[in-house]
């Protein structure tokens, strides 16, 4: 056990002095001036109960009960005593304050506090617009190629199945989901795989949801190109384009028709490593369906589905070109090419006059176009293919010869 010399803890002048008359240096003090937490809480409780403080004449206990928060206005008290009473009247530092609307006494503060409980400030339920249909414009999965009417690769099949399984997490019990596709192999197979993944997810999550089997709709087809055999999908027209191009390159006789020149520019853009969809969106081509007309028929298809299936969730497997054109029409700029099984989401409001279009963390409110009020761009002309030139049977809506009506 260590012996402590009391003289070492004494202040200057209280202990023995060193030789030469120098006193021992004082040690640093370790005592604390502030009260411990239990004492601070005790003083706060006493202040709330109105414990009698020091009277104006300096004697303890003036016999009066002080209300909580009451500060004496006696100017004859010393300054330190007035400051002491002010500190005791301050709100507690160790306990949480009551809500703002209780302290302020205004009922509107309570309503504001209720609306700001979450990070997102939203309108009350009665003021929110009701969503009639949620539409997902999904690009098809990875395909085997664009030179023929090919289906999906194994990776594309997995992409579509995984999309349907993920979609099952968003759907609530009692909803109805309608699957629609463009009339192509890659879009149809994408819709089928989405259905399989959706059913697997609903079985896993134990949800009771009605799923309408996929069906093809002409409104959601890919943009077309006018060939001598009629208006065809740009992929379906590749074989005819390639056959005639080879004939012209072998014989080198005559001028190439305009449709062949334009579709050759389109495909050589892709062969050169660029984006042919950007070329279609930016360069006017007389034999290609304009992007504005693709947007028009997509909105017509969405309105027809919404009337047929009110309140349902609509999943449409289609192609990237029209999806991208619809997004550009909504946002006013090009947000980029969608990846395989990436979607553009459309929330159609009740009344079918307004909609919210969201794509890649951007949401835009748009007016749903009135299809009947839009111009047709063909006021007095009807187009059909020329049998004398092609020898082919005229297809539905084909382009070739002009006739006045």
> Domain map of the chain by residue range?
133-223+296-373
Mean pLDDT of 163-190: 94
Cα separation, 115 vs 110, in Å, equals 9
Q: Which of 256-265, 300-309, 388-397 has the highest mean pLDDT?
A: 300-309
Q: Is the pLDDT of residue 56 over 50?
A: no
Give this prediction's pTM.
0.64
Which of residues 377 and 152 earns the better pLDDT score? 152
Q: What are 288-316's pLDDT values in tens digits? A: 999 999 999 999 999 999 999 999 999 99
- DSSP-based helix, strand, coil % in the chain, nearest 5: 40, 15, 45
Q: What are 394-403's pLDDT values in tens digits? A: 334 434 444 4
Residues near 288 by beta carbon (within 8 Å), at least 6 away in sequence: 223, 224, 225, 226, 234, 262, 263, 266, 280
Structure tokens at 113: 């506090």
Structure confidence at residue 80 (pLDDT) = 84
Structure confidence at residue 85 (pLDDT) = 78
Mean pLDDT of 101-116: 55
Which of residues 123 and 135 earns the better pLDDT score? 135
Which of residues 164 and 124 earns the better pLDDT score? 164
- Across-strand partners of 180? 215, 316
Helix ranges (DSSP H) in 309-361: 320-331
Structure confidence at residue 4 (pLDDT) = 47
Structure confidence at residue 2 (pLDDT) = 46
Structure tokens at 16: 């023995």
Residue 242 banded pLDDT, cuts 50, 70, 90 = confident
Selected from 1.10.1040.10, 3.40.50.1240, 3.30.465.10, 3.30.450.40, the CATH number assigned to the domain covering 133-223+296-373 reads: 3.40.50.1240
């Amino acid at each position: 056990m260590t012996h402590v010399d009391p003289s070492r803890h004494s202040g200057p002048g209280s202990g023995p002095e060193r030789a030469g008359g120098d006193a021992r240096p004082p040690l640093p003090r370790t005592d604390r001036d502030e009260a411990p937490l239990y004492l601070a809480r005790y003083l706060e409780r006493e202040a709330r109960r109105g414990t009698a403080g020091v009277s104006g004449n300096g004697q303890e206990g003036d016999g009066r009960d002080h209300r909580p928060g009451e500060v004496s206005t006696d100017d004859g008290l010393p300054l330190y005593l007035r400051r002491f009473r002010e500190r005791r009247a301050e709100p507690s530092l160790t306990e949480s304050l009551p809500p703002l609307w209780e302290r302020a006494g205004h009922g509107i503060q309570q309503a504001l506090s209720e609306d700001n409980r979450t990070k997102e400030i939203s309108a009350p339920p009665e003021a929110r617009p009701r969503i009639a249909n949620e539409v997902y414009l999904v690009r098809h999965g990875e395909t085997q190629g664009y030179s023929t009417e090919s289906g999906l690769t194994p990776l594309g099949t997995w992409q579509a199945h995984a999309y349907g399984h993920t979609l099952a997490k968003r759907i609530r019990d009692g909803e109805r989901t309608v699957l629609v596709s463009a009339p192509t192999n890659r879009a149809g197979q994408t819709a089928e795989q989405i259905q399989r993944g959706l059913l697997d997810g609903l079985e896993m999550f134990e949800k009771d949801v009605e799923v309408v089997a996929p069906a093809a709709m002409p409104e959601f087809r890919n943009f077309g190109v006018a060939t001598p055999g009629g208006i065809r999908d740009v992929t379906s027209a590749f074989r005819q384009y390639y056959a005639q191009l080879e004939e012209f390159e072998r014989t080198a006789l005559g001028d190439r028709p305009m449709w062949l020149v334009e579709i050759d520019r389109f495909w050589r853009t892709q062969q050169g490593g660029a984006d042919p969809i950007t070329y279609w969106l930016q360069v006017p081509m007389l034999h290609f369906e304009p992007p504005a007309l693709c947007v028009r028929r997509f909105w017509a298809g969405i309105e027809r589905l919404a009337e047929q299936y009110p309140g349902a969730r609509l999943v449409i497997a289609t192609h990237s070109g029209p999806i991208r054109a619809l997004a550009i029409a909504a946002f006013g700029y090009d947000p980029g090419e969608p990846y395989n099984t990436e979607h553009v989401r459309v929330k159609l409001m009740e009344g079918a006059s307004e909609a919210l279009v969201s794509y890649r963390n951007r949401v835009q409110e748009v007016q749903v176009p009135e299809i009947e009020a839009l111009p047709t761009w063909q006021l007095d002309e009807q187009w059909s293919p020329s049998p004398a030139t092609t020898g082919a049977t005229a297809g539905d809506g084909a382009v070739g010869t002009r006739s006045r009506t």
